[in-house]
Structure 1
Amino acid sequence: MEWIDAMLREDLSAPRKQRHTARRIYDRLRVEYDFNMACYSTICTYVNKRRAEILADAREGRMHLEGTVPQLHAPGAEAEVDFADVWVRLAGEPVQCHLFTLRLSYSGKAVHRVYVSESQEAFMQGHVEAFRVLGGVPTRHIRYDNLKPAVNRVCFGRTRVESQRWTAFRSFYGFDPFYCIPGQEGAHEKGGVEHEGGRFRRTHLVPVPEVDTLEELNERLAEIDEVEDKRHVHGANTSIGFNFAEEAPLLAPLPADDFECGITLTPKVRRDSRIVVRQSYYSVPARFIGRQVRVSLRANELLVFDRHRVVARHPRLTRRYAYRDDLDHYLEILMVKPGALAGSTGLAQARAAGTFTDTHDAFWAAARTAHGDAAGTRALIEVLLLHRRMPHEAVLAGITATLNAGSSSPELVAIEARKAEHRPETLLDDEDLAELAVPGPGEQTAPGKPASTNVITLPIRNPVLDDNRPLPSVAAYDQLLRLRSSKGSA
Structure 2
Amino acid sequence: MARDARTSRVDLYAAIRRDAKAGLSKRALQRKHGVGYRTVTAALASVWPKEPKPPPKRGSRLDEYKSVIDGWLRDDLDAPRKQRHTAKRIFDRLLDEHDAAGVVSYGMVRDYVATRRREIRIDAGRDPVNTFIPQTHLPGREAEVDFGEVVVRLRGELVTCTLFSLRLSYSGKGVHRISASAGQEAFFEGHAHAFRVLGGVPTGKIRYDNLKAAVASVIGFSRQRVEADRWTAFRSHYGIEAFYCQPGITGAHEKGGVEGDIGWFRRNHLVPLPEADSIEELNAMVDVWDRGDDDRRISSRAHTIGEHFATEQPLLAPLATEEFETGRWFTPRVDRFAQVSVRMNKYSVPARYVGRHVRVLLHASELVVYDGQTVVARHERLMTKGGVQLDLDHYLEVLLRKPGALPGATALEQARKAGRFTPIHDEWWGAACKTHGDAEGTRALIEVLLLHRHLAHEHVVAGLAAALRAGGHTADVVALEARKAEDSTHDNGDIPSAGDPADSTRSNTTGIASLTERRLRKPLPVDTRPPPTVDQYDQLLHSRSRAQE
Instruction: Please report the TM-score for the alignment, with normalisation by the length of structure 2.
Output: 0.70
Give the drift of 1:401: 2.2
Q: 1:456 aligns with which of 512, 524, 529?
A: 512
Aligned to 2:329: 264
* Alpha-carbon displacement from aligned partner over 1:340-391 (angstroms, at most 9, x marks no partner): 1111111111111111112211210111001000000000000110111112
Is 143-152 or 314-323 further displaced after alignment?
314-323
| Residue of structure 1 in register with 2:544 after alignment | none
- Whether the 8 Å contact between 1:78 and 1:142 is mirrored in structure 2 is yes
Give the C-alpha shift of residue 318 in structure 1: 3.2
Asked if residue 74 in structure 1 is aligned to residue 138 in structure 2, the reply is yes
Matched, 1:92 2:156: yes
Match of 2:70 in 1: none
| Residue identity matched to 2:481 | E
Aligned to 2:167: 103
CA distance in 1, matches of 2:407, 2:384: 26
Find out whether 1:163 has 2:205 as its counterpart: no
Q: Within 5 Å, which residues of 2 pair with 1:108-147?
A: 108-147=172-211
The structure-2 alpha-carbon separation of the partners of 1:238 and 1:72, relative to structure 1 and needing over 3 Å to count, comes to same
User: What residue in structure 2 maps to residue 369 of structure 1?
Assistant: 434
The counterpart of 1:277, out of the listed 309, 321, 342, is 342
* Equivalent position of 2:405 in the other structure: 340
**Number of the residue aligned with 1:410:** 475
- Secondary structure of the structure 1 residue equivalent to 2:125: helix
1:275-328 deviation per Cα after TM superposition (whole angstroms, max 9, x unaligned):
100110100011111111110000100000122221111111132210000000
Q: Contact 1:152–1:163 (CA<8 Å) still a contact in 2?
A: yes
**CA deviation vs aligned residue, 1:100-139 (integer Å, no higher than 9, x gap):** 1100000000001111111000011000000000000011
Equivalent residues in 2 for 1:256-405 (5 A)?
256-405=321-470
Report the CA distance between 1:394 and its aligned residue. Answer: 1.9
Taking the aligned partners of 1:332 and 1:135, their CA distance within structure 2 comes to: 48
Equivalent position SS for 2:411: helix
Q: CA deviation at 1:142?
A: 0.4
Q: Is the 8 A contact 2:122 2:129 kept in 1?
A: no
Contact 2:142 2:169 in 1 (8 A): yes
Does the residue aligned with 2:413 lie in a helix, a strand or coil?
Answer: helix
- Aligned residue in 1 for 2:3: none
Secondary structure in structure 1 of the residue aligned to 2:302: coil
Q: Extract unaligned runs of 5+ from structure 1.
A: 1-11, 18-52, 438-451, 465-490
Q: What residue number does 1:43 align with?
A: none
- SS of 1:148's partner is coil
How far apart, CA to CA, are the structure 2 residues paired with 1:388 and 1:298?
A: 25
Q: 2:292 aligns with which of 205, 227, 240?
A: 227
Superposition CA RMSD, Å: 2.7
* Deviation for aligned residue 1:426: 6.5
- Residues 404 and 454, structure 1, Cα contact 8 Å, conserved in 2: no
| Contact residue 405 and residue 453 of structure 1 kept, 8 A | no
Relative contact order (alpha carbons < 8 A, sep ≥ 6): 1 or 2 greater? 1
Q: Is the 8 A contact 2:485 2:495 kept in 1?
A: no
Give the counterpart letter for 1:122 in structure 2.
A
Structure 2 counterpart SS, 1:387: helix
What residue in structure 2 maps to residue 152 of structure 1? 216
Q: Distance in 2 between matches of 1:56 and 1:150?
A: 38
Take 1:320 and 1:236, find their aligned partners in 2: how far apart are those partners? Answer: 46
**Aligned residue among 213, 216, 219 for 2:278:** 213
The Cα of 1:422 is off from its aligned counterpart by: 2.9
Cα 1:359–1:287, aligned 2, differ >3 Å: closer, same or farther?
A: same
Once residues 446 and 512 of structure 2 are traced to their aligned partners in structure 1, the CA distance between those partners, rounded to angstroms, is 23
Range that drifts further, 57-66 or 394-403: 57-66
Q: Per-residue deviation at 1:60?
A: 3.8
Partners of 2:159 and 2:122 in 1: CA distance: 45
Match of 2:33 in 1: none
Distance 1:140 1:296 in 2: 32
Give the residue type in structure 1 aligned to 2:419. Answer: G
Contact 1:113/1:221 (8 A) holds in 2: yes
How far apart in 2 are the matches of 1:16 and 1:143?
A: 29
TM-score, normalised relative to structure 1: 0.78
Distance, in Å, in 2 between the alignment partners of 1:144 and 1:79 is 9
> How far, CA to CA, are the matches of 2:415 and 2:453 in structure 1?
15
Letter in 2 for 1:83: F
Q: Name the residue aligned to 1:28.
A: none
Question: Hey, what's the Cα distance between the residues in 2 that align with 1:369 and 1:426?
Answer: 35
SS of match in other structure, 1:234 = coil
